[in-house]
Amino acid sequence: MIRWSNSNISDIKSFRKLSNNNSIPVLGFGVFNLKERDEFDGALNCALDAGYRHFDTASIYGNEDMLGRAISESGVNRSEVFVTTKLWKSDFGYKATINALNNSLLRLDMDYVDLYLVHWPQKEKLAETWEAIEEIYTSGKAKAIGVCNFSIDYLKLLFRHCKIKPMINQIEHHPYLLQKELVGFCFDREIQVVAHSPLMWGRIVNDDTLKGISYEYKKSPAQIVLRWNLQKGIAVIPKSANRERIIENADIFDFHITESDMNKIDSLDKNLRVGGAPLSL
């Protein structure tokens, strides 16, 4: 079973080494659904103050420009933040992918992203799309590359076409959706797993078992779930627009969940997802 030792996840600056030797901070801040400028800026500034340095956006979220501006106006150096954006399905194809990344960089007002991801699996034009992503990586416009929501079959299909393997697979992952086989497959191939929707859109905090565990640790159910991910070797990118919850979600580095409680949380798996189910091949 995969476990991170405490020393690897001791504070908010903790990171995970990727297969290309770059690092990804284990805690990130997701910005899906933050669309209003005031709300976006409030959340981003609060996240930066709380110490988050990893931000997850996508071209389809329509807020790359707000993210770029908020980071730039914060005074935090570009080199101190880890920025992810993603290629949407309608931009598949060699030239379209190159253009999409360039447009994302223009909106972000950045020279590079730290991570560029294929947002959703799609068989059509996958080979030429990945070829463009490899080109983007080689040119330095993306420091790392990867995919989202790829099943084992989709990863195997990609391996048949790629020269450079994805460094990340960002998937829905929380106590009701463990995807053990897929997570194991990724770890065996040095593909770092990042949990999107790690709080199941906020619904997971109502689980009675998690409430019981959280009472014992004097932590909230959300903090238990985020820490559980980290101890499993999985990075997390929770989203919140609320100041208290942004701070709460970052306060997960001062406790350790025992093996027995880790297993108790694992046993909640129901193969239940809140996001869309990736298409099978």
Catalytic residues: 61
DSSP annotation string for 120-140: S--STTHHHHHHHHHHHHHHT
Cβ closest to ligand NDP, residue 141 vs residue 174? 174
CB 118 within 8 A of CB 77: no
Q: Nearest approach, Cβ of 134 to ligand NDP (angstroms)?
A: 20
Strands 23-25 and 15-17: antiparallel
Region 171-210 residues binding ligand NDP, contact defined as CB under 6 A: 196-202, 205
Stretch that binds ligand NDP, among 71-79, 93-101, 239-247, 253-261 (CB under 6 A): 239-247
Select the residue interacting with ligand NDP from 151, 170, 179, 229 (CB under 6 A). Answer: 170
Longest Cα–Cα distance of the chain, Å, equals 54
Distances (CA, A) of 129 to 60, 86, 112, 147, 232: 17, 13, 18, 11, 31
Q: Is the dihedral of CA 77, 168, 240, 206 positive or negative?
A: negative
- For ligand NDP, the binding residues in 99-138 under the rule CB under 6 A are 119
| Contact call for residue 32 and ligand NDP (CB under 6 A) | yes
Per CB under 6 A, which of residues 240..279 are in contact with ligand NDP? 240-242, 245, 248-249, 275
Distance CA 172, CA 94 (A): 27
- Is 241 or 272 the residue whose CB approaches ligand NDP more closely? 241
| Site membership for ligand NDP, residue 230 (CB under 6 A) | no
Residues contributing to the site for ligand NDP (CB under 6 A)? 30-32, 56, 119, 148-149, 170, 196-202, 205, 220, 222, 237-242, 245, 248-249, 275
